[in-house]
C-alpha cells in the first residue's frame, strides 16, 4: 500500500440556502475586494450572478466582475483577469460557474502574485509560487471537481495547447453547492459531467495496487451511485435528491478520497486534453471517446482489476473460467452506458468525422511533450503507445 497525505481543506457549504452565506464566507477567509468571475450566459440567465452581487453589496463587500470564460478556458482571458485584479486591488476571487471558471480563477490567482508569465507555471518552467490570491467557488455544474481540487487546466490559444498545473495552495477556501442550480444543465453537459467525475475515480481505481481495500470500496460506491443517478436526472432534470448525489459525487470523486493509498494513473486525461485542446470538445465527452481504447490496450497489466470493475460496477456476471472475457464484457458494458447517456465511445463519434493520421501524430507529439514525456502508471505509455491508443479510438 502506498503511503499518502490526504488534504482537502475546502469548506463545503451544501444545500438550497447555501448561497446566502457567500459574503460571510468571503469575509471569514479575509476577502475585502472581490473579483466575481463567471462564464457565458448561464449564471446571468438563472439570476444567480445578480443574486451573488446583491449579497456582496448588502454586506458591504466591494467587487468587480469579469465574465466570458469559455469551456476549455483560455489563457488570454486569465491574463485580462490578472491585469484587472492588479489595477483594482482585488484580494479574493469568487468563481461562479463550473470547472472552466474555477480553473481560470486559479490561473488569475497565481498570475497576480507572479513576476513572470503565468503560462510558465503550466509549462513547468516556473518555480512553484509561494503565495496566490485566495479562490472560492459557487458551483453550477458538477463535473471537473475543481471546487475541491488542487488542479487547474488552461488552454493557450497560441498553438491550442491545453496544460494543467497542480498546487495544493489553489484548493478553494470554500465551495457553495446548491443542487437546484444544476436543474438548468442541458442533458449533454449533465452526462459529460458525470462521465468526467466517474473518470476521476476510475483514473485512481485502475491501478497495479490492490491493497487499499477501503479506497476501492469507496470508489465502487461512487461509481455505482453516479451510474444510476445520471439516468434519474436525465429523465427528470429537477430531481433535487439525485442532482444532490451527483453534485457531491463530483467533489468526492476528485478531492483525493478515492485515491488514498493507490498509485493513480491519469493517462486517459492526458490523452483527452489533446483532444479538447485541438478540437475544443467537452472534456467529459472526450474522456468517453478515449477510455474504452485505453482500457483494451492496458487491461492485461491488471486483469483482475478489470474483472472486478466489470462485476462490481458494471453488473457483468463473473465467468471464473474466462477472466479476459469478463473484463472485455465490462468494457463493452461501459460503452453501452456511455451511449445510453448520449456520450461518444470513439473519436469519430466525438468530432463527427474521421480523425486524420496527421492529427493523431500532432496529438501524440503534444501529449508526449515532443517525445520527452510518458503518461500513465498502470501501464507507462510512451509516444508509440499514445499513438496506438489514438488509432484504436479512431472509430
Ligand atoms: O458558460 P456558461 O454559459 O456558464 O455555460 C456553461 C458551459 O457552456 C454550462 N453551464 C454551467 N453551469 C450551468 C451551465 N448551463 C446551464 N446551467 C448551469 N447551471 O456548462 C458548460 C460547461 O461548463 P464548464 O465549466 O466548462 O464545465 P466543467 O465543469 O466540465 O469544466 C470543464 C473544464 O475543467 C477542466 C477540463 O479540462 C475543462 O477545461 N478540468 C479541470 C479539473 C480540475 N481543475 O481539477 C479536472 C478535470 O479533469 C478537468 O480536466
Ligand atoms: Zn476530468
How is 71-89 classified by DSSP, letter by letter? SS-BHHHHHHHHHHHHHHT
pLDDT at 209 over 80: no
226-269 residue pLDDT tens:
999 999 999 999 999 999 999 999 999 999 999 999 999 999 99
Does the domain at 186-392 match CATH 1.20.1090.10? Answer given as: yes
Beta pairing class for 33-38 and 92-97: parallel
Calculate the average pLDDT of the chain. 97
How much is the pTM? 0.97
Sign of the four-CA dihedral 380, 384, 387, 388: negative
CATH of domain 11-181: 3.40.50.1970
pLDDT at 10 over 80: yes
Closest ligand 1 atom to Cα of 45:
3
Helices (H), 7-142: 22-28, 42-45, 48-58, 75-88, 99-112, 119-122
What does the alpha-carbon distance between residue 173 and residue 11 come to, in Å, rounded to a whole number? 6
Question: What is the structure's pLDDT at 53?
Answer: 98
Ligand 2 mean position, distance from CA 259 (Å): 14
Q: What Å distances lie between residue 242 and 223, 230, 248, CA to CA?
A: 14, 8, 10
Lowest mean pLDDT among 76-90, 152-166, 280-294: 152-166
Question: What is the structure's pLDDT at 147?
Answer: 98
Ligand nearest to the CA of 196: 2
Phi, psi of 152 (to 5 degrees): -145, 145
What does the alpha-carbon distance between residue 257 and residue 7 come to, in Å, rounded to a whole number? 9
How is 275-298 classified by DSSP, letter by letter? HHHHH---HHHHHHHHHHHHHHHH
Q: Does this chain's domain 11-181 share its CATH topology with 186-392?
A: no
Instruction: List the Cα angle 7/12/17 in 5-degree steps.
Output: 180
Question: What is the structure's pLDDT at 138?
Answer: 98
Lowest mean pLDDT among 111-120, 205-214, 236-245: 205-214
Question: What is the structure's pLDDT at 51?
Answer: 98
Question: What is the structure's pLDDT at 212?
Answer: 87
Query: How much of the chain exceeds pLDDT 70, in percent?
Result: 100
Decide if 173 contacts 34 (C-beta within 8 A): no
pLDDT at 2 over 90: no
In sequence order, the β-bridge partners of residue 175 are 12, 137
pLDDT at 210 over 90: no
Cβ < 6 Å from ligand 1: which residues? Answer: 39-43, 71-73, 97-101, 103, 140-141, 143-146, 149, 151-153, 181-182, 184-185, 189, 193, 196, 254, 269, 283
Residues 311-337 have a mean pLDDT of: 98
* 3-state class (DSSP) for residue 259: helix
Ligand 2 mean position, distance from CA 98 (Å): 12
Closest ligand 1 atom to Cα of 43:
4
Question: What is the structure's pLDDT at 239?
Answer: 98
Residues 95-109 have a mean pLDDT of: 98
Residues 352-380 have a mean pLDDT of: 97
All residues at 6 or more sequence positions from 174 whose CB lies less than 8 Å from its CB, including other chains? 10, 11, 12, 13, 25, 29, 136, 137
Question: What is the structure's pLDDT at 200?
Answer: 98
* Sequence spans of domains, the chain: 11-181, 186-392
In sequence order, the β-bridge partners of residue 135 are 93
Whose Cα sits closest to atom 36 in ligand 1? 283
> What is the signed CA dihedral for 177, 181, 184, 188, rounded to 10 degrees?
0
Ligand 1 mean position, distance from CA 184 (Å): 14
14-51 residue pLDDT tens:
999 999 999 999 999 999 999 999 999 999 999 999 99
Cell of 179: 443542487
Amino acid at each position: 500500500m502506498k503511503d499518502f497525505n490526504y488534504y482537502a481543506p475546502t469548506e463545503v457549504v451544501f444545500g438550497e440556502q447555501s448561497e446566502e452565506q457567500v459574503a460571510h464566507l468571503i469575509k471569514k477567509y479575509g476577502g475585502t475586494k472581490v473579483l466575481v468571475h463567471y462564464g457565458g450566459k448561464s449564471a446571468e440567465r438563472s439570476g444567480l450572478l445578480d443574486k451573488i452581487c446583491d449579497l456582496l453589496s448588502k454586506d458591504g463587500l466591494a467587487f468587480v466582475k469579469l465574465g466570458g470564460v469559455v469551456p476549455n478556458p483560455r489563457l488570454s482571458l486569465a491574463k485580462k483577469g490578472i491585469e484587472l485584479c492588479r489595477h483594482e486591488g482585488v484580494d479574493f476571487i469568487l468563481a461562479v460557474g463550473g470547472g472552466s471558471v474555477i480553473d481560470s480563477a486559479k490561473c488569475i490567482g497565481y498570475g497576480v502574485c507572479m513576476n513572470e508569465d503565468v503560462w510558465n507555471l503550466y509549462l513547468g518552467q516556473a518555480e512553484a509560487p509561494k503565495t496566490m490570491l485566495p479562490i472560492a467557488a459557487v458551483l453550477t455544474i458538477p463535473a471537473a471537481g475543481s471546487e475541491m481540487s488542487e488542479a487547474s487546466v488552461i488552454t493557450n490559444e497560441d498553438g491550442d495547447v491545453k496544460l494543467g498545473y497542480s498546487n495544493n495552495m489553489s484548493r478553494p477556501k470554500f465551495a457553495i453547492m446548491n443542487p437546484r442550480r444544476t436543474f438548468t444543465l442541458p442533458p449533454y453537459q449533465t452526462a459529460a459531467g458525470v462521465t468526467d467525475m466517474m473518470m476521476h475515480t476510475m483514473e485512481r481505481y485502475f491501478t497495479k495496487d490492490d491493497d487499499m481495500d477501503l479506497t476501492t470500496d469507496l470508489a465502487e460506491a461512487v461509481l455505482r451511485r453516479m451510474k444510476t443517478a445520471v439516468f434519474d436526472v436525465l429523465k427528470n432534470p429537477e430531481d433535487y435528491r439525485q442532482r444532490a448525489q451527483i453534485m457531491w459525487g463530483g467533489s468526492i470523486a476528485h478531492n483525493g478520497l478515492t485515491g488514498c493509498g493507490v498509485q493513480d494513473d491519469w493517462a486517459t486525461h492526458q490523452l483527452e486534453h489533446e483532444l479538447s485542446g485541438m478540437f475544443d470538445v467537452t472534456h467529459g465527452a472526450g474522456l468517453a471517446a478515449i477510455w474504452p481504447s485505453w482500457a483494451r490496450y492496458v487491461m492485461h497489466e491488471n486483469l483482475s482489476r478489470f474483472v472486478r470493475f466489470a462485476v462490481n460496477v458494471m453488473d457483468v456476471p463473473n465467468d471464473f473460467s474466462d477472466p479476459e472475457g469478463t473484463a472485455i464484457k465490462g468494457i463493452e458494458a461501459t460503452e453501452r452506458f456511455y451511449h445510453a447517456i448520449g456520450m461518444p465511445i470513439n473519436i469519430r463519434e466525438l468530432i463527427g468525422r474521421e480523425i486524420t493520421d496527421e492529427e493523431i501524430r500532432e496529438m501524440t507529439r503534444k501529449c508526449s511533450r515532443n517525445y520527452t514525456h510518458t503518461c500513465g502508471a498502470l501501464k507507462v505509455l510512451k509516444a508509440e503507445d499514445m499513438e496506438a491508443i489514438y488509432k484504436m479510438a479512431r472509430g
